[in-house]
Amino acid sequence: EPEVTQTPSHQVTQMGQEVILRCVPISNHLYFYWYRQILGQKVEFLVSFYNNEISEKSEIFDDQFSVERPDGSNFTLKIRSTKLEDSAMYFCASSGPTTGTYEQYFGPGTRLTVT
């Protein structure tokens, strides 16, 4: 069964460093998302991506964040200068292949720890 994959599973970085989180969505999906979950809290939307551009973003997704689909399979989230409060589980999700298919399938997550 197709699934969303994410790498790495765990990333430890120092405050101020740049990190790139990688995702491979389900191959025929057209909509891609990033969410985050701070430990013990609910899942929060960051950004959605469709047709090679951002379609929606939340207040959390400020100038320190960016997303990219560098090739036909990968979808990345970059945090330019990490802060302690960026420590969280980051989930990539995808949906599609046609409009009206709303189920979002999540990857296993990347746990980001900023020290």
Say how many residues touch other proteins, by CB under 8 A.
25
85-114 as b/e: b if 16+ CB within 10 A = ebbbbbbbbbbbeeeeeeebbebebbbbeb
Q: Which residue has the tokens 């120092």?
A: 14
Q: What is the DSSP letter of 63?
A: T
Q: Does 56 bind other proteins (CB under 8 A)?
A: yes
- Interface pick for other proteins out of 41, 73, 81, 113 (rule CB under 8 A): 41
Q: Give 54's contacts (C-beta < 8 A, 6+ positions apart).
A: 47, 48, 67
Q: With CB under 8 A as the contact rule, which of the stretches 19-27, 51-59, 62-70, 77-85 interacts with other proteins?
A: 51-59
- Interface pick for other proteins out of 19, 23, 26, 95 (rule CB under 8 A): 95
Q: Which residue has the tokens 């990539």?
A: 92
Q: Does 31 bind other proteins (CB under 8 A)?
A: yes
Q: Does 111 bind other proteins (CB under 8 A)?
A: yes
The nearer residue to other proteins, 45 or 65, going by C-beta atoms, is 45
- The first and second tokens of residue 62, run together, are 């400020």
Site for other proteins, rule CB under 8 A: 31, 33, 35, 41-45, 48, 55-56, 58, 89, 91, 93, 95, 102-109, 111
